[in-house]
Amino acid sequence: MKSLLTILALLLAAGLRAQPAPRSVSPAAGRFVFGPATTLAADRELLPLARYAAPYLGCRVEERRTADGAVVLLLDPTLDLPAEGYALDIAPERILLRAPSLGGVFNGLQQLFRLLPAEVYACRGLEAGTSVACCRIDDAPRFAYRGMMLDLARTWIDAPALKRYIDLLSYHNINKLHLHLSDDEGWRIEIRSHPELAAVGGFRGGDSPVRPVYGKWDEKYGGYFTQDEMRSLIDYAALRNIEIIPEIDLPGHSRCIASVRPEIRCNYPPDTVSTNGYDYRSAWCVAREENYALLDDILGELCALFPSEYIHVGGDEVETSQWERCPDCRALMRRRGLADAHALEDLFMERVAAILARHGKRPAVWNEAAKSGRLGREARVYGWESVRASLDATAKGYATVVMPGESFYFDMRQSPEEDGHDWAGIFDARKTYGFDPAGCGFTPEQMKHVIGLQGAFFSEAYISHDPERPDYLDYMTFPRICALARIAWSGNDEGWEAYRRELTDAHYDRMAAMGIRFRLFPPRLEVRDAMMHLSTDDGSELWQVADGGAPERYRGPVPAAEAPRMRFFSRRATARSPYVAGRSYYRTIAPEVAITTSMGESRRFPYANAERYRGLSRTTRACRQGDWVLYTFAQPVRCREMFLQTGNRQLPKTIVTTGRVEVSYDGRTFHPAGELRQGSATLHPDRAVRAVRIVSTCDDNGTPYVTIQPPRIKPAL
């Protein structure tokens, strides 16, 4: 019997350890077999969860039945487990799932799903004869808060897509969904007392006063949730053990609402010459008393709509220079004896916290808002800037969600040549998995204030990646969310290599069945004996693509001489890897170039930055029709590819939104060479180039300047 149980334990291991890992497993002899007569039995309070599970398991639901052949769900407050813990007993005659709360029952159902074939997530019911090994599992989470933040302000995500994402989070035991509902570029929630905020501010471009800055520049783009739609989403998430926490970002990041209600801004005339008439100020005026009445209306409705104890009110990246220029804010500082404009944020957040308290809620804030320590300790702090920010918040006694960008901002790129931001670092699931608060310097007393971990996806770049499909969002967040879920639920004691093998051997199939377009780890590329050799150990298929060609199956080593034009990647079901290539594929040259434009030169970011291939340059204003950027090379340049980019490296913002490209081979006569695509152009000249010119055909780009990147030029072969 001892040998049999050992074998059963090994057979169970793949299903039990790969997302998230239960804390206690006791194998037993036998198997429970699903069949046409299998039922889901639950008392009245658990019937909604039984109905949730029924399509996955293919069982009919019966109230309060404990006979053989049933999956039985029971609330058991006598269990010595945290609220989200559960006890799962699988015996040959029945499966019994007990928990002290609905959340615990839901978590136990997810563990049961993970023991079954991956096809369970297709929600078509199990095939007759599907069985699961008998065992006893006792489990509970490491942290009570296991969250994910999704930015809906920059890229609109509608209700069906958001429900899909809620499902994906719930499969991984994520229990908090922090929705970033407002920012400079969008307002995504109906406020019935001020319907213009969403009806107007929910859209940018076209006839909206909010100008487009990231993508879809030639259409009126956006959307918002009505309160009834949001209430339905709240209920949908709650059944799946997910609390939705709304965020209205204050007092900065408010250009959108300020474009709809300009009177909330500070009392001085803005400089709109650089933006072609657009008021680019983004902060609420602290001194304007009417602003707090408007905030009372807004926050009062949110408090009534959302069951969450907390309303997130932002507090990050406030441009205090706007308050310094405001005579009313300066007068307020004198009356209150405040030394600098940063103290005005404390005053503003105290007023906002008082509004929330009157409506029975607590404030949640980004770590900057708690830096001075003046905010009341009823506030919850989200430590995003760094580990040090969370150390500071916990030392001050704030309940803290730890989420430093360098490990948990899933909009960061995952390798140097992939899409995404890089200001917080370049990392994949391995770094997320490796994070452990215990090794970050928190004292035992500070750890008492760490309530959990959270990932984040800010969506500035998503809008430029076909957001009507989930591919980019999935690719950027999975499997990083898997790693977050694992460490937040059960830690990372087993080590990366063991965890990675669990992912590839067991959880990849589950994510594919869930329909996730997740990221595979890149295949290995080695050069031996003048040949490029590709390999992978995750069961994926290898592919190769030559410049200008279609992808082809990798059939064996490729001559290293082809490296400058070859890339490779892998596919497995719904997933794909990033491209990998030899160093020579990415090699560029830096011919001497002079950059001039019709839009002036920033003193802080001069053209010399881009001319010397050392960083970005900026103009002094946004582009208008007929404006130009001219790249003149000291000597004619022969190359196989020339990439000219306006805007940020990681996303198309501060660009020439529409325009054409012209090329000159003698420095005098220019010839059409194509249209800009998201502010950039890629040329493949068949002869030496002396100059290239970008000509704007748009009126502005919604920002105060155009960014100019150094040209990226690949040498001729």
pLDDT in tens, 215-236: 999 899 999 999 999 999 999 9
CA angle 31, 37, 39 (to 5 degrees): 80
pLDDT greater than 90 at residue 63: no
- How large a percentage of the chain has pLDDT more than 90? 95
Query: Of 275, 289, 298, which is closest to residue 355 (Cα–Cα)?
Result: 298
CA atoms of 364 and 378, how far apart (whole Å): 9
pLDDT greater than 80 at residue 1: no
pLDDT greater than 70 at residue 384: yes
Choose the weakest-confidence range: 8-22, 239-253, 332-346.
8-22
Say if residue 211 is exposed, middle or buried (CB neighbours under 10 Å; 0-12, 13-18, 19+): buried
CA atoms of 701 and 690, how far apart (whole Å): 28
**pLDDT-based confidence at residue 18 (cuts at 50, 70, 90):** low
pTM of the model: 0.96
Summarize the confidence of residues 82-97 as an average pLDDT.
Answer: 96
Summarize the confidence of residues 530-543 as an average pLDDT.
Answer: 97
Q: Taking phi first (over 0 means left), then psi (-120 to 50 degrees means alpha), and beta for anything else, what does residue 421 get?
A: beta
CA atoms of 170 and 19, how far apart (whole Å): 11
CA atoms of 322 and 675, how far apart (whole Å): 38
Report CA 455 to chain centroid distance, whole Å: 7
Summarize the confidence of residues 142-161 as an average pLDDT.
Answer: 98
Tokens coding 113:
């799903």
Secondary structure E strands in 471-620: 524-528, 531-535, 541-546, 552-553, 558-559, 566-572, 575-576, 593-597, 617-618
pLDDT greater than 60 at residue 13: no
Residue 423 phi/psi, 5° resolution? -65, -30
The amino acid present at 616, given as its one-letter code, is L
**pLDDT-based confidence at residue 502 (cuts at 50, 70, 90):** very high
The amino acid present at 284, given as its one-letter code, is W
pLDDT greater than 60 at residue 15: no
Query: Of 644, 640, 636, 637, which is closest to residue 662 (Cα–Cα)?
Result: 644
Find the radius of gyration of the CA atoms of the chain: 28
Going by the DSSP 8-state scheme, the letter that residue 507 receives in this structure is: I
Instruction: Give per-residue pLDDT as tens, 346-378.
Output: 999 999 999 999 999 999 999 999 999 999 999
Look at residue 2 in the predicted model and tell me its pLDDT: 45
Contact call for residues 386 and 434 (beta carbons, < 8 A): no
- Bridging pattern class, strands 670-675 and 707-708: unpaired
Tokens coding 332:
């307020």
Look at residue 12 in the predicted model and tell me its pLDDT: 53
pLDDT greater than 90 at residue 4: no
Which DSSP helix (H) or strand (E) runs through 413? Answer: none
Look at residue 432 in the predicted model and tell me its pLDDT: 98
Q: Report how far apart, in Å, the C-alpha atoms of 569 and of each of 421, 428, 430, 509, 523 are.
A: 21, 16, 19, 19, 7
- How large a percentage of the chain has pLDDT more than 70? 97
Summarize the confidence of residues 591-600 as an average pLDDT.
Answer: 98
Instruction: Give per-residue pLDDT as tens, 599-638.
Output: 999 999 999 999 999 999 999 999 999 999 999 999 999 9
For residue 542, the tally of other CB atoms under 10 A from its CB is 17
pLDDT greater than 80 at residue 173: yes
